[in-house]
Amino acid sequence: MARLSLTNISKIYNGARVVDKLSLEIEPGEFVSLLGPSGCGKSTILRMIAGFEQVDEGQIHHGGNCLSSTQIHVPTEERNFGMVFQSYALWPHMTVEQNIAYPLKIKKIKGEQRTKKVIEALEIVQLNDYAKRYPNQLSGGQRQRVALARSLVCEPEIILLDEPLANLDRHLRESMEITFREFHKRTGATLIYVTHDQTEAMALSDRIAVIKAGKILQWSTPQDIYNKPNTTWIADFIGKGSITNANLTTLKKSLLNEEEIHGAINSHIGNPSHDYKLLIRPQHIAIHDSASAYSLPAIATECLYKGDKYEVFFELSSNDRILAFSDHPISKGTTKHIILKSAWPLEI
Ligand SMILES: Nc1ncnc2c1ncn2[C@@H]1O[C@H](COP(=O)(O)OP(=O)(O)OP(=O)(O)O)[C@@H](O)[C@H]1O
């Protein structure tokens, strides 16, 4: 098992840099997501790793081997990477086991060895009872599991997945997230997963590369990206939360406590010139009826029922809007006293 290194890779289409000198080191056995909005270049990066696209700048190495550079381009079929796409790309006239066996057939692996590998792959995705069915006799989730089994049957070190759950409904996507985690545990392969769905990336990955306009803005664990985003754009893109104005003398790179937050917001109300921003997650807000140390007065402006909770928007004296969670409804216009227990400082 070897590390995959992307070093300053770029892709330029018609003069536009859709991937811009991007570098990434992926350790063997990691589950990594490339996360970003539509058009940010995620699929192009994956296609360059797969060898479907050449790099216009930079290099891709797998261990000591150079796979791509401006001079070298190892063809896709020689990279031995598994691939899973949004469209399952199964052969409709082949049964489940024939579909899974297909890459082995191409590699001229025959007889008992082929049968053994197909049975193992079927076991990993728990489709043993479906081996003789055709794709049109399967659900979307089952078809995607066939595609997964087919991607691993040649025992690749790296499996590339491009939005593999995009065609499935929300409920099925959630159960497939568990399938992917299990699949990762059982194969030990390096998984590189492209998605624009942050909850999917959070649930699955060891590390996430957040991509915008062909560049990586943050490369970190899901926990760090959620709790300590590098930029206001990521804070806004990932998870629910509010971004408020605040005064800080310096940008402290640690979570602020309720006393520090209270001071920073109040100081901004008195002197709205030194601009910093604070990211406040709704679960870090306590709502009280009366004022106490470090509470801020807040007027409820909207209350939405979400089944397991109410989402309440408050307006502070600074005019900032803050989202909080509540167990019960709060009528529009009610004044409450909120304590912001934790916040992450952001530079503008
Ligand atoms: N073959 C091509 N020729 C010209 N432009 C291309 C080509 N392939 C992709 N692009 C452009 O490159 C940019 C990045 O595309 P890419 O498919 O990598 O984005 P993405 O982040 O995967 O988006 P999505 O989530 O919508 O699939 C887009 O602006 C796209 O239009």
Q: What's the complex ipTM? A: 0.96
* Residue identifier of the C-alpha nearest atom 1 of ligand 1: 13
* Residue identifier of the C-alpha nearest atom 24 of ligand 1: 38
Closest CA to 158 of 181, 205, 190, 183: 190
Closest CA to 82 of 209, 193, 7: 193
- How far is residue 14's CA from residue 174's CA, in Å, rounded to a whole number? 38
* Residue identifier of the C-alpha nearest atom 3 of ligand 1: 13
Task: Tell me, using a 6 A CB cutoff, whether residue 22 lines ligand 1.
Answer: no
Contact call for residues 213 and 41 (beta carbons, < 8 A): yes
Task: Tell me, using a 6 A CB cutoff, whether residue 297 lines ligand 1.
Answer: no
- If you measure from the C-alpha of residue 44 to the centroid of ligand 1, how many angstroms do you get, rounded to a whole number? 6
Q: What is the pTM of this model?
A: 0.90
- If you measure from the C-alpha of residue 323 to the centroid of ligand 1, how many angstroms do you get, rounded to a whole number? 34
pLDDT at 259: 94
Write the pLDDT tens digit of every residue in 16-29: 999 999 999 999 99
* Residue identifier of the C-alpha nearest atom 28 of ligand 1: 39
Contact call for residues 336 and 261 (beta carbons, < 8 A): no
Task: Tell me, using a 6 A CB cutoff, whether residue 44 lines ligand 1.
Answer: yes
Task: Tell me, using a 6 A CB cutoff, whether residue 50 lines ligand 1.
Answer: no
pLDDT at 101: 95
Task: Tell me, using a 6 A CB cutoff, whether residue 295 lines ligand 1.
Answer: no
Low-confidence ranges of the chain (pLDDT < 70): 274, 348
Task: Tell me, using a 6 A CB cutoff, whether residue 145 lines ligand 1.
Answer: no
